[in-house]
Amino acid sequence: MSRHITSAACAVSVLFAVAITADAVAQTGSAPVTAIPSATVTGPEFRDPKTGQVWTPENVGKDDKPLSPQDRAFNPSGQTVNPGQTVDELPQIRQVGTVPVTAGATVPLVTLDNVSLNVQPGGRWQAVLYLQNNSANGLSPVIGCGFTNGGNLVQNTRISLPIVAAGTRVGIVVSGPGSEVFVDSVSCNIVSP
């Protein structure tokens, strides 16, 4: 008899739980989610076939041996660069399209967009940017670009452009510091007009 009562009590408990779950779904619009703690994952392992040592992310590089310069990871925040004076550049421009002449009270004479940063292996860092002359006149804009690493200035460049025709969009490649120096961002702005 106690088995029958226990089974009935279990059935009532299950129905009660289903009713509560259905009520929760009706109130929130989604079923509650339950998570079960899983075993801690330590990450990938590698067994050295010669020594039998098992390497994991927790023990790599912690054998108290000094690292050789070849094995030492480059620390970009540890580099020391003297930005010195501003580099003046007179780059070539390439017309890539036309834009409507819309300069006025709410539209600037010239605008910059799509600035990208890349490096030429064994060469220099480069910023590629696009300038639009929104005015009805030809202009010779001056652009300032700052190549930085972790917020620290690496090189400041001043770009003086030849006359950009009215209503044109041009592409510009700006040379930065040598590729032996780490750069993580470049910021460019119109200095004049």
Q: Which CATH code is given to the segment(s) 87-192?
A: 2.60.40
User: How many Å from the N-terminal Cα to the C-terminal Cα in the chain?
Assistant: 95
Return d(Cα 159, Cα 89) in angstroms, integer: 5
What is the per-residue pLDDT for 150?
Answer: 81
Provide CB contacts within 8 A for 77, sequence distance 6+: 149, 150
Residue 122 structure tokens: 């064994």
CA-closest candidate to residue 172, choices 122, 113, 120: 113
Q: What are phi and psi of 6, to 5 degrees?
A: -65, -45
Q: Between 5 and 141, where is the model more confident?
A: 141
Residue 103 structure tokens: 């300069």
pLDDT for 130-165, tens place per residue? 999 999 999 999 999 999 888 888 999 999 999 999
Return d(Cα 33, Cα 21) in angstroms, integer: 11
Return d(Cα 186, Cα 147) in angstroms, integer: 4
pLDDT at 26 over 60: no
Return d(Cα 156, Cα 88) in angstroms, integer: 9
Q: Between 129 and 6, where is the model more confident?
A: 129
Where are the chain's structural domains?
87-192
Maximum mean pLDDT: which of 15-19, 45-49, 71-75: 45-49
pLDDT at 116 over 60: yes
What is the per-residue pLDDT for 82?
Answer: 75
Strands 124-133 and 110-119: antiparallel
CA-closest candidate to residue 189, choices 103, 120, 138, 127: 127
What percent of the chain is predicted at pLDDT more than 70?
64
Q: Between 27 and 114, where is the model more confident?
A: 114
* Arithmetic mean of pLDDT over the chain: 74
Q: Kindly indicate the confidence band of residue 23, based on its pLDDT and cuts at 50, 70 and 90.
A: very low
Q: Kindly indicate the confidence band of residue 6, based on its pLDDT and cuts at 50, 70 and 90.
A: very low
